[in-house]
Amino acid sequence: MQNSYKRVDAHLSSLGYCSRSEAKKFLKMFKVSIDDVRVFDVTKKAYHNDISVENEPLDAESLLLLMNKPSSVICSHDDAGVLIYSLLPQRFQRRNPKISTIGRLDADTTGAILLTDDGALNHKLTSPKSDVSKVYEATLAQPLKGDEVEIFASGELLLHGEKKPLLPAKMEVLSPTHVRLEISEGRYHQVKRMFGAMGNRVTALHRVSFGEFSVENLETGEYKVIDFTQNAQEGKYIT
């Protein structure tokens, strides 16, 4: 659990409320308090947990967000097009360090994606050793042949251009052209390539969940803040 001790302007700027140079003006415009006592001195030092803005606690020092990513939105900081970060509040976009996606989803893939400004957490969840379960729903161009469930579960499927077979994956057939697939890896375009290896093509792909986090109750483009402190206390995802 973070609770850093530093100047008020440093707290506000790192969390995206304002820049260091704007801090004096911010304190005049908004009620910034330390232990419920309003302050106007940007050089005043305090613990993060003792500061409030307009009687609301500061945003968490480390953020973890879950978003139901829309189609045509790009998981990048600098590519052309609609970037996923533009869907976040301006304050979140100005945080330092920056918020980044944990892994990526293709522009045409929708669904569960996590975002964080915690580099260690990001590395942990994108590491090949993480084995985080990811559940997808895929719509296929052609009906299933009938042997895909067994092949995906075998742990012997070798993708084109790779030397190491995929780990076993669980597939539930929802219809001849609609499946739910659970994988624990995150290889490049993995789901699309798995069906490509079967002579089929994915026409629509939606990630239902990433680990324990599901977007089944989130509207498209909606996000929620995960209680990072609670997860840390429970030992979830945090080393």
DSSP letter at 218 equals S
Look up residue 55 and give its two tokens: 């009687």
Catalytic (active-site) positions:
106
Cα–Cα distance measured from residue 117 to residue 65, given in angstroms and rounded to the nearest whole number: 10
Contacts 24+ apart (CB under 8 A), 50-58: 51/8, 51/11, 53/12, 53/17, 54/30, 55/31, 58/11, 58/15
CB burial string 136-159: b at 16+ within 10 A, e below = bbbebeeebeeebbebbeeeebeb
Cα–Cα distance measured from residue 79 to residue 71, given in angstroms and rounded to the nearest whole number: 15
Q: What angle do CA 197, 160, 211 make, to 5 degrees?
A: 75
Cα–Cα distance measured from residue 137 to residue 23, given in angstroms and rounded to the nearest whole number: 46
How far is the CA of 5 from the CAs of 9, 43, 50, 59, 135, in angstroms? 12, 12, 10, 15, 40
